[in-house]
Structure 1
Amino acid sequence: MSILFWILIWICIIIAFIGLIYPVIPGVLFLMGAFLLYGLFFSFEPFSWVFWTVQGILVVLLFLSDYMVNYFGVQKVGGSKAGIWGSTIGLILGPFVIPVFGIVIGPFLGALIGEWVFHRTSFSQAVRIALGSVVAFFASVLTKGIIQIAMIVYFFWQIH
């Protein structure tokens, strides 16, 4: 039975990493779910208040990094709130509208439309901002991936 329990825990961890690329999947919830499943199936004993505090801080860092990397990535190339909102909307809708490539094309088009149509930026500047939003997306995935790896390493360190 413990093999089945570990399979469920690992499925949650894998879904958490899929959530890095598909932002509609709440990856951090699946990661925390893996920790809770371990506690339910095996024992909550390894999880002190320090464990939950550290994990909570890392969750906050996940959310902050997601927002801040996108914000500073678009802003660094001269983007406005219209570009940031467009990039975010494109990031959420892109994978549904254009499967596979929508994860890159969505934020690009969202930022482009946000800047060019709503903020009245020149087309060349809007393209530059849109490219900045795509770079920011990949930087955000990398940053969140590192934080999630830290959460998992700390989890396994606590249970062994």
Structure 2
Amino acid sequence: MSGIYLIVSTALIIVGLLGIFIPGLPGTGLVFAGTLVYAWGTGFQAIGWGTLLLFLFLTLLSMAVDYGAGLITAQKFGASKQGIFGSIIGGILGMITFNLPGLILGQLIGVIAGELMFGRKMKESMKSGFGVFIGYLLGSIAKVIITTLMVIIFYFKVFF
């Protein structure tokens, strides 16, 4: 019976890993769901409450870093509130129309447009846009590292 839970969990984990790179899929959240399904289905034998709490913490940390990195770096590079708002709107519109490339370009164009609309010069606006892009990259790298760590711990506990 635990084999069925392992298959379902692995399917959720694989979709979660894809979700790291595909906007709209809650990547780390699906990986957590996969570990939770296995833990519950096997009576919390290999994956106990302590491990699940660690996975929950890592999931929340991944989400916070992913969303916060762009905002923090944009501010460090001088973005105003209007630029950050433009980045959020541009990212959403870009993701809807062009998926991952649209998300990245939409954030970049959004922050630049937001800065320009409220009186900033092009050079300052471009600097803010660069900050958003760097933040997106840092957030994505952190999300990959955290999610990979969760997967390694999960399979180590299941098989060893």
For residues 54 and 40 of structure 1, the distance between their equivalents in structure 2, rounded to whole angstroms, comes to 16
Taking structure 2 as the reference length, the TM-score comes to 0.83
For residues 20 and 114 of structure 1, the distance between their equivalents in structure 2, rounded to whole angstroms, comes to 27
Partner of 1:134: 133
For residues 7 and 90 of structure 1, the distance between their equivalents in structure 2, rounded to whole angstroms, comes to 38
**Amino acid paired to 1:76:** K
Q: Which runs of 5+ in 2 are unaligned?
A: none
Partner of 2:17: 17
Contact 1:112 1:127 in 2 (8 A): yes
Which has the larger displacement, 140-149 or 53-62?
A: 53-62
Give the length in aligned residue pairs: 159
Percent sequence identity over matched residues? 26
Seen in structure 2, the aligned counterparts of structure 1 residues 153 and 138 have a Cα distance that, compared at 3 Å, is same
Matches within 5 A, 1:110-125: 110-117=110-117, 119-125=118-124
Q: Which runs of 5+ in 1 are unaligned?
A: none
Partner of 1:95: 95
For residues 72 and 63 of structure 1, the distance between their equivalents in structure 2, rounded to whole angstroms, comes to 14
For residues 115 and 83 of structure 2, the distance between their equivalents in structure 1, rounded to whole angstroms, comes to 5
Contact 1:22 1:95 in 2 (8 A): no
* Cα RMSD, aligned residues only: 2.3
**Amino acid paired to 1:149:** T
Partner of 1:158: 157
Seen in structure 2, the aligned counterparts of structure 1 residues 38 and 72 have a Cα distance that, compared at 3 Å, is same
